[in-house]
Structure 1
Amino acid sequence: MTWDHVFLIISGIPRTIIVTVLSLAVGMLLGFPIMLMRIAPLSPVRVAATVLIAVVRSVPPVVWVFMVFFGVGADVVDVSPFTAAVISFGLISAVNMAEIYRGGLIAIPLGHHEAAIALNLSRWHHFRDVTLPQMFVVSLPAIATYAVGLLKDTSIASTIGLQELSFQGRYVTDMTYKGFEALVVVGACYIVISLPIAWLSRNLGEMLKRRVAR
Structure 2
Amino acid sequence: MGSDVLLTVLKGVPMTLLLTGASLGIGIVGGLPFVAARTSKRPLLRMVSRSLIEILRGIPPLVWLFIIYFGLGNSLPQIEPLQAAIIGFGLISCAYMAEIYRGGLAAVHHGQWEAARALGMSTSSIVRKIIAPQVLRISVPATATYGIGLFKDSSVAFTIGVTEVLYWANEQSRSTSDAIKPFLAAAVVYIVMSVVCAALARSVDQRLQRRVAR
Question: TM-score range, shorter-chain basis?
Answer: over 0.9
The letter for the 2-side match of 1:39 is: T
Taking the aligned partners of 1:34 and 1:112, their CA distance within structure 2 comes to: 23
Tell me the equivalent position of 1:35. 35
Shift of 1:191: 1.2
Matched ranges for 1:197-208 at <5 A: 197-208=197-208
Tell me the equivalent position of 2:185. 185
Tell me the equivalent position of 1:138. 138
Q: Secondary structure at the match of 1:117?
A: helix
The letter for the 2-side match of 1:185 is: A
Shift of 1:77: 4.1
Taking the aligned partners of 1:196 and 1:113, their CA distance within structure 2 comes to: 37
Tell me the equivalent position of 2:11. 11
Report how many aligned residue pairs link the two structures. 214
Query: Contact 2:82 / 2:162 at 8 angstroms: preserved in 1?
Result: yes
Task: Give the TM-score normalised by the residue count of structure 2.
Answer: 0.96
- CA deviation profile, 1:91-145 (whole Å, cap 9, x unmatched): 0000010000000000112333233223322211100011101001111100000
Query: 1:85 and 2:85 equivalent?
Result: yes
Tell me the equivalent position of 2:54. 54
Taking the aligned partners of 2:114 and 2:37, their CA distance within structure 1 comes to: 23
Taking the aligned partners of 1:59 and 1:99, their CA distance within structure 2 comes to: 16
Tell me the equivalent position of 1:123. 123
Query: 1:75 and 2:75 equivalent?
Result: yes
Taking the aligned partners of 1:126 and 1:199, their CA distance within structure 2 comes to: 32
Taking the aligned partners of 2:4 and 2:43, their CA distance within structure 1 comes to: 58
Tell me the equivalent position of 1:96. 96
Which segment is superposed worse, 155-164 or 76-85?
A: 76-85
Q: Is there any run of 5+ residues in structure 2 with no aligned partner, and where? A: none
In structure 2, do the counterparts of structure 1 residues 82 and 197 end up closer, same or farther at CA, with 3 Å as the change threshold?
A: same
Q: Secondary structure at the match of 2:78?
A: coil
Task: Give the TM-score normalised by the residue count of structure 1.
Answer: 0.96
The percentage of counterpart residues that share the same residue type is 39
Taking the aligned partners of 2:35 and 2:203, their CA distance within structure 1 comes to: 26
The letter for the 2-side match of 1:108 is: V
Which segment is superposed worse, 11-20 or 107-116?
A: 107-116
Taking the aligned partners of 1:194 and 1:115, their CA distance within structure 2 comes to: 41
